[in-house]
Structure 1
Amino acid sequence: MPPLETRPERFDLAVGTAAEFLRSAWPELREVRFEVAGMPPASDDDGIPRWSVSTEQKRIILYRLPIERLGRLHRNDDLHRRMAIESSVFRAAAEYLDRDPWDLGPDRFRFF
């Protein structure tokens, strides 16, 4: 039997592949650590954060449970769950770089 793949393992894989894409495209992210935690230490005025960014520590932390459970998927399947995770990675990296998330991979979204 093939080994079972758990939800945390799929989450880690999606974060890792998105982070590697971003590192290859943006030299400013090559030294940044992308980490995964279950939950943030506390909520803030905007609610429960999906990620936290520390430019001083060169660190981006993505919180698995809020990303997985509080996101609104219009289709609940593996592809859309992965897209929601990758979207969070891109938005967290954009916050780190102080850029728009669409600026991080413009060639990735051109279909012509």
Structure 2
Amino acid sequence: MARPPRVRSSGRAAFRDRHGRGLRSSAAGPHLPFLRTRIDLFDDIVASTAHYLKELWPDELDDVVFRVAGLPQRAPESSFERFRVDKSKRVVTFYRLPIERLTRTPESRQQGDAEWQHRALVEGYVFRAVGDLLGKDPWELAPDRYR
């Protein structure tokens, strides 16, 4: 199966050019693959979950654009929103920092399956946002996903 395209709305470059000295090399050396950052992992989870939902609901999600941003542009009134759904433009934007840092998770996250729990957390927000966009309960979108 082809890997879904990455989701990224920030213009963050993969490398930095400091003081005109040229692009920086990898910290792991030229012969090793680049390390995966938290941003890359979050982008991959959102992209793969969006691709999965687009396969299940092709007609409803055909023209929907999924975006990832660090934080909402506006200052929060009481709490940070985790995602924004613009039904008229058919755009869903996920905010990485509020999802990863401000969402309460079970205490077991410190143990064993932290990677799986992180994936389930992010996927849960993708399901909620798409459910909000389509006017459906998130559990109706993919009832067999976690069985």
When the two structures are superposed, what TM-score results if normalisation uses the length of structure 2? 0.70
Q: Which runs of 4+ in 1 moved over 3 A?
A: none
Extract unaligned runs of 5+ from structure 1. none
Aligned to 1:50: 82
Does 2:43 correspond to 1:7? no
Extract unaligned runs of 5+ from structure 2. 1-31
Q: Percent identity?
A: 41
Question: Greater RCO between the two (CA within 8 Å, min separation 6)?
Answer: 1
Q: Which protein has the bigger helix share?
A: 1
1:62-94, Cα deviation, whole Å (9 max, x unpaired) = 000000001122214111111111100000000
Aligned to 2:47: 16
When the two structures are superposed, what TM-score results if normalisation uses the length of structure 1? 0.90
1:44/1:24 Cα in 2 relative to 1: closer, same or farther (>3 Å)?
A: farther
Aligned to 1:99: 136
Q: 1:108: Cα distance to partner?
A: 2.2
3-state DSSP class of the match of 1:107? coil
Aligned to 2:102: 70
What's the RMSD between the two structures over aligned residues?
1.3
Match 1:79 to one of 108, 116, 126: 116
How many pairs align?
109
3-state DSSP class of the match of 1:106? coil
